[in-house]
Amino acid sequence: MKTVVVGISGGVDSSVAAILLKKQGYHVIGLFMRNWDSSINGDYLGNPTLSHSICPQEQDYNDALMVCQKIGISLQRVDFVKEYWDYVFTYFLEELKKGRTPNPDIMCNKYIKFDMFAKEAKKLGADFIATGHYARMKDGDLLRGLDNNKDQSYFLAQVSRKQLENVLFPIGDLTKSEVRRIAREYNLITADKKDSTGICFIGERNFKQFLQNYLPNTSGNIINIDTKEVVGKHVGLMYYTIGQRRGLEVGGTKDRLFVVGKNLQDNVLYVAEGENNPYLYTTKALVGDVNFISNERPILCSAKFRYRQMDNNVEIEYLDDGNIFVKYPQKIKAVTPGQACVLYKDEKCLGSGIIRKVYNDSIPVWYL
């Protein structure tokens, strides 16, 4: 009998993944990862409501334990707090300092779930590891999950082809509603549990309040790039992302204002009026940290520049230094440095890279 170690998070997806693996005849072991310690990391300081309640991750562990007891598998627990800080959270903070908008979930998959977790699973005798991601594997290639609304291949696109060997995604062929139906059939505590949101393993926080524990924020001018006028004050460049329109404390204008760029040297946030303003659109992105899962290296394919975005037709230019230019002359809105550019060919996820710079062929790149 083959052994599968499944990552049990305390949510419905991993719960059902474990059920399906057991039904398929595997010897299933649950493994819960503890990746964040709010008391040590200090993000509950000054928040009396949180400091006197059970830590959300402890509640997740309790739920995971009840699920494993219900379906008759053991649950192990492993502590990756230091590794998460070193490889994921530090990266998150450094990218914010550079004015980018990072995605820690992607780095958590790369460094924690499919690296540290996999090594721990091998210690437990795993032939395979499994997670509750909505994705599929076929002949060594990563495919989208069948539920288009829940497909999570985007978040797996920095994981290497080698790391994806001997990985199972039991719910990749299911929809979310089917997953919840199975959980209800087994009367699991997680059956109707709300999906986790917020920063990976840290959860929902008041973002500004949370970041103030780690990065000093310096206010500065908000400038309308079209009129060159100062229209307000920002509370710290790290709190804003390209395309953002909510949370801007600015004076009255005839149209809505959107964030279009940052000047770190002068501590300026640039905005422009109107959702179709030319400064919101770019035609090309320089992409680094390129990771190809597929053996294919196409010139033409499709790309997502953020999760849940529709596929965009793109052309790839391969550079000698390993970076790529991703070109989209049709122009795309709010392509954001720090985010992932994930490449696809039909249902196959080819791989990804991290957006370093964006360009607009018809506008000077004054804001980068």
Amino acid identity, residue 120?
E
Q: Give the integer Cα–Cα distance in Å for 329 and 342.
A: 18
- Tell me the C-alpha distance between 29 and 76, whole Å: 8
For 141, residues 6+ apart whose C-beta sits below 8 A from its C-beta are 293, 294, 348, 349
**Whether 200 is catalytic:** yes
User: Helix 176-185 crosses helix 12-23 at what angle (to 10 degrees)?
Assistant: 70
Query: Does the annotation mark 55 as catalytic?
Result: no
- Secondary structure class of 138 (helix, strand, coil): strand
Sign (positive/negative) of CA torsion 12, 14, 20, 22?
Answer: negative
Q: Is 95 helix (H, G, I), strand (E, B) or coil?
A: helix
Separation of alpha carbons 230 and 224, rounded Å:
6
Closest CA to 113 of 207, 17, 192, 43: 17
From 200, 301, 341, 349, active-site residue = 200
Instruction: Tally the C-alpha atoms within 13 A of residue 368's C-alpha that lie toward its C-beta.
Output: 18
Distance CA 83, CA 36 (A): 10
Residue 170 CB-density burial (10 A; 0-12 exposed, 13-18 middle, 19+ buried): buried
Q: Are the beta carbons of 337 and 330 closer than 8 angstroms? A: no
Spot the catalytic one: 108, 301, 341, 349: 108
Rounded distance between C-alpha atoms, residue 195 and residue 183, angstroms: 14
Catalytic residue annotation: 108, 200
